[in-house]
Amino acid sequence: MIRAFKNPLLSLLGVLAVGAIFQFAFDEYIQLMVLFITVNCLMAMSLNLVNGYTGQFSLGHAGFMAIGAYFTAYASTHWNFLPAELQGVSFFIFAIGSGLAAALAGFLVGLPSLRLKGDYLAIVTLGFGEIIRVSLLNMDVLGGPRGFANIPGFSNFYMSYSFAVLWILICFFTIWRVMKSSWGRGFLSVREDEIAAESTGVNTTGMKVRAFVLSSFFAGVAGALFAHFTNFINPSSFTFLQSVNAVIMVVLGGMGSMTGSIIAAIFVTSLPEALRPLQEWTGVDLRMVIYSLSLILVMILRPKGIMGELEITDLWRKYVRRSARS
Amino acid sequence: MQDFVQHLINGISLGSIYALIALGYTMVYGILKMINFAHSDVYMVGAFGAFYIARAFGIEANPGVGSLAILLISSMLVCSILGLLIERLAYRPLRNAPKLNILITAIGVSLFLEYGGQALFGANPRVFPEVMKDFVIFSFGNVELKSFDVTVLIVSVLAMLGLQYLIYKTKLGKAMRAVSANASVASLLGVNPDKIIAFTFIVGSALAGVGSVLVGMKYPKIDPLMGMMIGMKAFVAAVLGGIGNVRGAVLGALIMGLSEEMVVAYLSSTYRDALAFGILIAILIFKPAGLLGKYSVEKV
């Protein structure tokens, strides 16, 4: 049964069926939450490629998301080359465009800065993220600090959801296949021991740049989805905190586990809503306090994150099938 | 020309505040090879500590040098206790962990202090009590030398001289330099690295406490997120001067303060925050060890 989900088409149908349940059984508030979860899933999975698999720490992911969001916002309000019935197709093309724009930015950012390591890389990517945000603030074509309003979106929840699911599966299976290829081995070798990888002939900077570009592509797509779902974006949606949010998801889910990232994205996005009664009772915003505390505790108690490098399917193999055999 | 001199004075005053905070970053980096992201939030807690102590003792009523001294000492105490706690509870369990984990923990501690502070102190900005009267000491045309700028400069120079004495003239400072050079060899020679690291955190945090009172005096609005930006800039200053190098941190901070003041004066204030990162990226690409840093070759 688990193996069936390794087939993209079957998993698409499965996840779409889940969406159908949400379409009819829940109200708009929860539906919007589900859409935000899909955006965060994309963010977490793409960051996991850099942070979990390649072992490089990037804190500028919100910047790439911003580039994607602004590209889509501009494109879908200014360019109408397809009839209105084919809106979904044009959105898909614009999402690819956003991804490519973000990937280009990722290349430009990555090429010089990925020669740095650890702390420095984190701080430089943070710097690039902030520079992107400040530049957006100063661009009057894109609305500047007022933001970009009236971005066309999908007509109903199910359309938005299917669009998001399509992209999540593209992201998931792309990264899945890449990690099984020689590039994937290169990424892992960079994470494990950079000097050893270099001396066995892996082009470590090249590997890092590849991971970074692929990751920023999907972050750009996540930004595009975000723009369509909220219909309004402004530079303050893409601050340092948004990047940290993605990092929290990757770390909590497990650095190097894609299903872990998805689970953490679902958990981290829905936790504040679950905490709302507590928040009203105490009158303070406890969300970030709990996140940060759990981040520290996870790092001390389980340094690789909750799932470690295991996927859900590995857990299935490890526990369920073993117990069936015995 | 007169404007320029005024900007110069403001820039040096800003730079000396950055220097106090940058010293904390550079000391911890020198000894532990980690960026203590929570340092700027220790500074924030110091400002709030001074705020509440001033309120409890009724210091706001009588501004003067005496109350400045009391606030400085109390803020230093609050900060060093907090720094010690952070080191003991969050960083020590991870002493031998991979660098990525330490970095993530540091960010976690920083966020915890920021948002814990928001929950505890409230998110609204508070007005820092008037520690001293601000008056013009010296004026020449448009140029004004205010007592705040002079106080900031005097206090920070005193603090830095004290640090210099501590590091280069005392036994404790010698131990710190030894641990920074090689912790395991230092421990063979009878230095307890854990104690020295804890002491480094205390000293760095105390300097942040001094900085917090000075900033509160000069820009009397404090809120739980105040550490974010100033911490970033102080960190950039530390990297600019060569991280791990105490004199470099001061030099970098002065350059940062001056260039920021000039950007605001002659270009546009919206680019103020981007400037720090611009400098950082340029430095890391062209001279990764900073202005006064030493290059080291990584060994396998």
pLDDT at A213: 94
Reported confidence tier of residue B2, pLDDT bands at 50, 70, 90: confident
- Give tens-digit pLDDT for B111-126: 899 888 888 888 788 8
Taking an 8 Å cut-off on Cβ atoms, the answer to whether A127 and B277 are in contact is yes
Percent of chain B with pLDDT over 90: 15
User: Between A296 and B3, whose confidence is greater?
Assistant: A296
Reported confidence tier of residue B145, pLDDT bands at 50, 70, 90: confident
- Give tens-digit pLDDT for A101-112: 999 999 988 887
Instruction: Tell me the shortest Cα–Cα distance from A233 to chain B, in angstroms.
Output: 20
- Give tens-digit pLDDT for B238-248: 888 888 788 88
Q: Is the dihedral of CA A59, A61, A66, A67 positive or negative?
A: positive
- Measured in whole angstroms, the distance separating CA A94 from the mean position of its chain's CA atoms is 18
B226 phi, psi to nearest 5 deg: -65, -20
Tell me, yes or no, if A243 comes closer than 8 A to chain B by beta carbon. Answer: no
3-class DSSP assignment, residue B15: helix
Q: Look up the pTM and report it.
A: 0.85
Nearest to B281 among A124, A137, A295 (CB): A124
Taking an 8 Å cut-off on Cβ atoms, the answer to whether B116 and A289 are in contact is yes
3-class DSSP assignment, residue A130: helix
Helical residues (DSSP H) of chain A, grouped into ranges: 8-25, 28-48, 61-78, 87-113, 118-137, 157-179, 182-192, 194-199, 204-230, 240-253, 258-274, 276-282, 287-301, 312-315, 322-325
Name the token pair of B263.
């950007």
Taking an 8 Å cut-off on Cβ atoms, the answer to whether B105 and A112 are in contact is no
Assess whether pLDDT exceeds 90 at residue A150. Answer: no
Taking an 8 Å cut-off on Cβ atoms, the answer to whether B277 and A57 are in contact is no
Chain A residues close to B116, C-beta within 8 Å: 289, 292
Name the token pair of A68.
């994607």
Chain B residues close to A118, C-beta within 8 Å: 99-100, 103
Assess whether pLDDT exceeds 90 at residue A58. Answer: no
The residue of chain A with its CA nearest to that of B92 is A300
Show Cβ contacts of residue A180 under 8 Å, excluding neighbours closer than 6 positions: none
Nearest to A130 among B98, B123, B273 (CB): B273
Mean pLDDT of A120-131: 84
| For testing contact with chain B, the best of A241, A289, A306 (most B CBs within 10 A) | A289
Percent of chain A with pLDDT over 90: 23
3-class DSSP assignment, residue B299: coil
Assess whether pLDDT exceeds 90 at residue A44. Answer: yes
- Give tens-digit pLDDT for B151-173: 888 888 888 888 889 988 999 99
Provide the mean pLDDT of chain B: 84
Taking an 8 Å cut-off on Cβ atoms, the answer to whether A285 and B103 are in contact is no
Taking an 8 Å cut-off on Cβ atoms, the answer to whether A289 and B100 are in contact is no
Taking an 8 Å cut-off on Cβ atoms, the answer to whether B108 and A55 are in contact is no
What residue type is assigned to position A200 of the chain? T
User: Between A1 and B60, whose confidence is greater?
Assistant: B60
Run of H or E including B285:
helix B272-286
Of A225-234, A301-310, B122-131, B212-221, where does the model show the most confidence? Answer: A225-234
Chain A residues close to B94, C-beta within 8 Å: 299-300, 303
User: Between A13 and A136, whose confidence is greater?
Assistant: A136
- Give tens-digit pLDDT for B58-89: 776 777 777 888 888 999 999 999 999 999 99
How many CB contacts within 8 angstroms connect chain A with chain B? 114
Taking an 8 Å cut-off on Cβ atoms, the answer to whether A119 and B99 are in contact is yes
Reported confidence tier of residue A259, pLDDT bands at 50, 70, 90: confident
Mean pLDDT of B25-37: 85
Chain B residues close to A303, C-beta within 8 Å: 94, 97-98, 101
Beta strand ranges found along B126-264 (DSSP E): 126-127, 136-140, 143-146, 221-222
Assess whether pLDDT exceeds 80 at residue A152. Answer: yes
Taking an 8 Å cut-off on Cβ atoms, the answer to whether B108 and A112 are in contact is no
Any idea which residue has 């508030």 for tokens?
A: A29
Taking an 8 Å cut-off on Cβ atoms, the answer to whether A138 and B271 are in contact is yes
CA distance readout (Å), B295 to A242, B242, B247, B288? 34, 10, 16, 8
User: Between B47 and A314, whose confidence is greater?
Assistant: B47
Nearest to B101 among A124, A138, A303 (CB): A303
Nearest to B271 among A55, A134, A251 (CB): A134
Mean pLDDT of B96-106: 84
Instruction: Tell me the shortest Cα–Cα distance from B108 to chain A, in angstroms.
Output: 5
Mean pLDDT of B212-237: 85
Instruction: Tell me the shortest Cα–Cα distance from A134 to chain B, in angstroms.
Output: 7
Q: Please name which of B85, B161, B80 lies closest in space to residue B116, comparing C-alpha atoms.
A: B85
**Beta carbons of B243 and B26 less than 8 angstroms apart:** yes
Q: Which value, to the nearest 10 degrees, does the dihedral of the CA atoms of residues A282, A248, A61, B241 take?
A: 90
